[in-house]
Amino acid sequence: MRTLVGAALIALVLTQPAVVVQGEEQFRPNGLVVLMTDYGTDSIYMGIIKGAIYSKFMGARIDSITNDVPPFDIVAGAYLLVEAAGEYPKGTVFVTIVDPGVGTERKSIVVESKNGYCFVGPDNGLMTLAAEKFGIKQVRELTNKQLWRAETTSTVFHGRDIYGPVGASLASGVPVEEAGPALQTITKLDLKRSAVANGAASGTVMRTDPYGNIVSNITSADLQSLGIALGDSVNVSLGASQWTAPFKRTYAEVPEGERLVVVQSSGFVEFAINKGSLADAIKEGFGAKVTVSKAK
Amino acid sequence: MRTLVGAALIALVLTQPAVVVQGEEQFRPNGLVVLMTDYGTDSIYMGIIKGAIYSKFMGARIDSITNDVPPFDIVAGAYLLVEAAGEYPKGTVFVTIVDPGVGTERKSIVVESKNGYCFVGPDNGLMTLAAEKFGIKQVRELTNKQLWRAETTSTVFHGRDIYGPVGASLASGVPVEEAGPALQTITKLDLKRSAVANGAASGTVMRTDPYGNIVSNITSADLQSLGIALGDSVNVSLGASQWTAPFKRTYAEVPEGERLVVVQSSGFVEFAINKGSLADAIKEGFGAKVTVSKAK
Amino acid sequence: MRTLVGAALIALVLTQPAVVVQGEEQFRPNGLVVLMTDYGTDSIYMGIIKGAIYSKFMGARIDSITNDVPPFDIVAGAYLLVEAAGEYPKGTVFVTIVDPGVGTERKSIVVESKNGYCFVGPDNGLMTLAAEKFGIKQVRELTNKQLWRAETTSTVFHGRDIYGPVGASLASGVPVEEAGPALQTITKLDLKRSAVANGAASGTVMRTDPYGNIVSNITSADLQSLGIALGDSVNVSLGASQWTAPFKRTYAEVPEGERLVVVQSSGFVEFAINKGSLADAIKEGFGAKVTVSKAK
């Protein structure tokens, strides 16, 4: 999987608008610095990066989307970021770090989005989906060391040394333009979307959750185009398992312990067991292939 | 266990006072929005609900009791809530979500307590013990959609769509009365208390902790009524295990690796191993039956 | 290990300066109360201590280094504290709790450091390395009960009853001197440093991380004194395993799945697998013995 991801890295040329497009929002910092990393929920790295942020901007309000992104997994991180970021108010700075290439030639960037967010982190594709969803207003390479941590810069912890402090600087009101020179491109992952063909929708598992629910990248629109309506039976093939389950509004509409198909809160198709863990039951997770069709 | 809990759901009629009773405290928000959920410590759902709260009230100060309530377990959540909530200052809004019935006909409510807290969440019994301990001043059903998330409401994530935003609204100063119409009842769990009979106190395990200590709902008063004093030996029967251990003030009063009985910080009887994990040693946990008596 | 730690507890006499030494910084609270405990990342104890802190000082800004210190492990905690604390701004109050001796005769203290921090917790050696690194300006025993939790004090949860509230009090501006009488000593652990002899550096594992990297207390200076330069091959003996790996600047300088030696962000020698978990591969962790030498 990781090899495939590496191979899928492609650079897209972005057209920089000469003037602010109508309807775009200015980034005006609201003080929030919101982390999403693979540092581990409560690891020492979290304690360190938060200290580095406060040291740069004592007024920072630090919070997190999650720091439990699977280690090194840029694709998983890209999905998690785009699912959560949009809930935050305009003016939020996101510090997003899944960075297996730390210390190599990959760039460090900030993306200001068209809806008034900033995303700070390595330019390795992690921001692919967020950039698509929110639009790119400008990209800057993080070369201005005055916004970095005051002390020496390590080769292995750019969260502490660069991303945290730059995020804090932006949250404190430093203009995005001061982060460094403009870039015309960001690195994007070539992520597959779901597809509908021959009476079936196919996709992949984007994530599981602590209940054991399994979320795919198949959309509610895909179900609609297959003529699958609430109450219909759905044939599911997921990884090595196949089953048929009803399409329901919510979990408790099937008896405890039974399977269902549901549209989750971001509009994606989710597979679940009422009050049980489907992920444990079928031992499948991130990256597994999924196909759904209407049962006859 | 969960079936039993479901069966134990009963509705109690609450008498609403026509005027504020002497000695009650007014809820005056202090800005804190404190979460207790089964979303998982650092899951994407935490990242999302926090964004939804900030989007409703940028000044919210978000913190958590715990988001590691066992999935779907309303009884476990009720115990955890009542143990921690009382430590928080008056004016705190608690957003409490263990909601296996999300999207069904169960109501969504806010309980204003007599000591100046608000509890926001599903009306499924989760607030049973907190309501008993702090007293109910008023209950409102959450029908005012102006306090909800601005965008569409899902059938499966009412934390994001309703409870988080309503909690944020109350923390921002929206009067509790604006949440929706008054209710006369909340759903309560019929939770068993400890009992003393025939020279023994019996109860159940309320929780274990990260050290492997096991906390029961037997109280220090129960020990007293059995004539058990510090230094006495206590016969313990817990799940499938039996042993005798001394009743001590604190862990280090027995040698490393040995068992003891102690009254923990909320006044409940706890079973422990000094610098060891009793839960690992006897493989027992939440819901197990416990009996203690004075050893001859 | 724990027995050895207990045996290694020694009391060092500290000379209290009669006047403030030139270059010392005054502790001026910045409002941050930063926790480091073995309470467990998201346990109910975290929910409780945070409530107790807010109740003492509603303006407290609570954050954490980590609350996932291995249970009861004072040595592991001492290493984690000193690695992270220095990143925080001056004026931060650290509440540091790994306290297997809670409720016994061990003292409760606050250490004001020469660089403007306060450390609040049990006097059991947990602050050893932080006190060495930042210098001790004064030590006070926590006897002033006005700074404690208002309600009764338990024998088993001094985080809630003493350390949290005292930390909050100091963060709110209560002078350190009001915490209690001055002490001349703190308890210190006799922690072994790395050593270089006979062409090899030897030390112990200080911690692993969520990626499975293994961090030792061998320093970059040790490597230098052995004549080991970037690109050189290094013989490693760690616990029961031996291998040879290159000394590199960062992970991605070796192929995926291969081992390397790297200097991590605090200047210590770390052993890793690029995009893999060395800790899982060799089943070693905290406390294991390590030796490195230059490969011929």
C214 token code pair: 């293994």
Angle at A182 between CA A181 and CA A183, to 5 degrees: 120
- In this prediction, residues A24-37 reach a mean pLDDT of 94
Residue B113 to residue B86: CA distance in whole angstroms: 11
- pLDDT given at position C168: 98
Do B19 and B85 reside in the same domain of the chain?
yes
CA distance B53 to B32: 11
Res B23: pLDDT? 64
Which residue, C162, C189, C216, sits at the end of a domain? C189
CB A1, CB A76: distance < 8 Å: no
Q: What is the mean pLDDT of residues B144-148?
A: 97
Q: Each residue of A245-254: pLDDT tens digit?
A: 999 999 999 9
List CB contacts of B192: < 8 A, sequence separation 6 or more: B203, B204, B217
Average pLDDT over residues A215-225: 97
CATH number, domain of A227, equals: 2.40.30.90
pLDDT at B153 over 70: yes
C280/A contact by beta carbon, under 8 A? no
pLDDT for B3 equals: 32
Spatial CB neighbours of A17, under 8 Å, sequence gap ≥ 6: A137
The answer on A140 and A10 residing in a single domain is yes
The least confident of A59-63, A153-157, A222-226, A236-240 is A153-157
Query: B32 versus C191: which is more confidently predicted?
Result: B32
pLDDT at residue C15, as a whole number: 34
CATH number at residue B110: 3.40.50.10790
- From B189, B224, B249, the end of a domain falls on B189
Note the pLDDT of residue A23: 64
Domain co-membership, C89 together with C234: no
- Here the ipTM equals 0.91
Contacting residues of A for B105, CB less than 8 Å apart? none
What is the average per-residue pLDDT within B247-265? 97
Residues in B touching C108 (Cβ below 8 Å): none
pLDDT score at B151: 80
| Cα–Cα dist B76/C31, whole Å | 34
> Could you identify the residue written with the tokens 């100091």?
C170
Contacts of A66 in chain B (CB under 8 A): 42-44, 46-47
CB contact under 8 A, A265 and B44: no
A233 has a pLDDT exceeding 60: yes
**Alpha-carbon span B68 to C43, nearest angstrom:** 7
Residue A2 has pLDDT above 80, yes or no: no
* Chain A residues lying within 8 Å of C253, measured CB to CB: 103-104
Q: Is A58 on the interface with C (CB under 8 A)?
A: yes
Q: What is the pLDDT of residue B118?
A: 98
Return the SS3 of A52. helix
For A52-84, what is each residue's pLDDT tens digit? 999 999 999 999 999 999 999 999 999 999 999
Residue C24 is predicted with a pLDDT of: 76
**C175 and C208 both lie in a single domain:** no
- Which residues on chain A are in Cβ contact (under 8 Å) with B153? none
Interface test with chain C among A5, A33, A42, A74, by most C beta carbons within 10 Å? A42
Best C66, C134, C205 member to test A by mutation, with max A CBs in 10 Å, is: C66
Are B144 and B207 within one domain? no
3-state secondary structure of B230: coil
Residues C76 and C160 in one domain: yes
CB C270 within 8 A of CB C216: yes
Question: Can you tell me the distance from the alpha carbon of B84 to that of A180, in angstroms, rounded to the nearest whole number?
Answer: 47
Of A132, A163, A189, the position where a domain reaches its end is A189
pLDDT for residue B7 is more than 80: no
Closest Cβ–Cβ partner in B48, B103, B154 for A87 = B48
In this predicted structure, the answer to whether residue B16 has a pLDDT above a threshold of 80 is no
Instruction: Report the candidate in C183, C187, C152, C145 with the shortest Cα–Cα distance to residue C166.
Output: C145
Residue B102 and residue B180 share a domain = yes
Domain match, C117 and C13 both: yes
Residues of chain C short of pLDDT 70, as ranges, are 1-23
Residue to substitute from B35, B66, B115, interface C, most C β-carbons within 10 A: B66
Closest CA to B37 of A37, C69, A211, A267: A211
Contact C85 A41 (CB under 8 A): no
pLDDT above 60 for B76: yes
Find chain C residues with C-beta within 8 A of A154's C-beta. 264-265
pLDDT of the residue at C23: 64
**Once rounded to an integer, what is the mean pLDDT over residues B11-38?**
70
Are B210 and B103 in a shared domain?
Answer: no
- Contact C44/B274, CB-based, under 8 Å? no
Q: Does C210 touch chain A (CB under 8 A)?
A: yes
Q: How far is B54 from chain A (nearest CA, A)?
A: 7
Residue B113 belongs to domain spanning: 2-189
Our count of domains for chain C comes to 2
C100/B249 Cβ within 8 A: no
Compare CB distances from C84 to A48, A101, A155 and report the shortest one's residue.
A48
Three-state secondary structure string covering chain C: CHHHHHHCEEEEECCCCCCCCCCCCCCCCCCEEEEEECCCCCCHHHHHHHHHHHHHCCCCEEEEEECCCCCCCHHHHHHHHHHHHHHCCCCCEEEEECCCCCCCCCCEEEEEECCCCEEEEECCCCCHHHHHHHCEEEEEECCCHHHCCCCCCCCCCHHHHHHHHHHHHHHCCCCHHHHCCECCEEEEECCCCCEEECCEEEEEEEEECCCCCEEEEEEHHHHHHCCCCCCCEEEEEECCEEEEEEECCCHHHCCCCCEEEEECCCCEEEEEECCECHHHHHCCCCCCEEEEEECC
Q: Which residues are B97's β-sheet partners?
A: B37
- CB-based contact B66 C54, cutoff 8 Å: no
Neighbours of A226 (CB within 10 A): 18
Q: Select from B155, B161, B163 the residue whose CB has the most chain A CBs within 10 Å, as the one to mutate to test that interface.
A: B155
Residue B73 CB contacts under 8 Å (≥ 6 apart), including other chains = B2, B38, B98, B286
Q: How confident is the model at residue B12 (pLDDT cuts 50, 70, 90)?
A: very low
Q: Which two tokens stand for residue B291?
A: 């009996």
Q: What is the pLDDT of residues A78-116, one digit of tens each?
A: 999 999 999 999 999 999 999 999 988 899 999 999 999
- State chain B's mean pLDDT as an integer: 92
Structure confidence at residue A103 (pLDDT): 85
Q: How far is CA C221 from the centre of its chain?
A: 21
Q: CA angle at residue B164 from B159 to B170, to 5 degrees?
A: 145
Please report the pLDDT score of residue A282 as a whole number.
97
Give dist(CA C277, CA C210) in Å, integer: 9
> In this predicted model, what pLDDT tens digit does every residue of B157-207 receive, in sequence order?
999 999 999 999 999 999 999 999 999 989 999 998 999 999 999 999 999
Q: Contacts of residue B249 in chain C, CB cutoff 8 Å?
A: 103, 155
A209 has a chain B CB within 8 A of its CB:
yes
pLDDT at C18: 40
Beta strand ranges found along chain B (DSSP E):
9-13, 32-37, 61-66, 93-97, 108-113, 118-122, 136-141, 185-189, 195-197, 200-208, 214-219, 233-238, 241-246, 259-263, 268-273, 289-294
**Which residues in chain C are contacts of A55 at CB distance < 8 A?**
87-89
| Cβ distance of B83 and C51 shorter than 8 Å | no
C120 and C213 in a single domain? The answer is: no
Are A210 and B46 in contact (CB < 8 Å)?
no
B158 touches chain A (CB under 8 A): no
Residue with tokens 């969960």: B2
Contact predicate B258/B274, CB 8 Å: yes
- In angstroms, the separation between the Cα of residue C280 and the nearest Cα of chain A is 14
Q: Are residues A175 and A203 in the same domain?
A: no
A50, C63 Cβ separation under 8 angstroms: yes
B 13-52 residues with CB below 8 A of A? 38-52
Q: Reply yes or no on whether the pLDDT at B150 is more than 90.
A: no
Asked whether residue A54 falls in the same domain as residue A134, the answer is yes
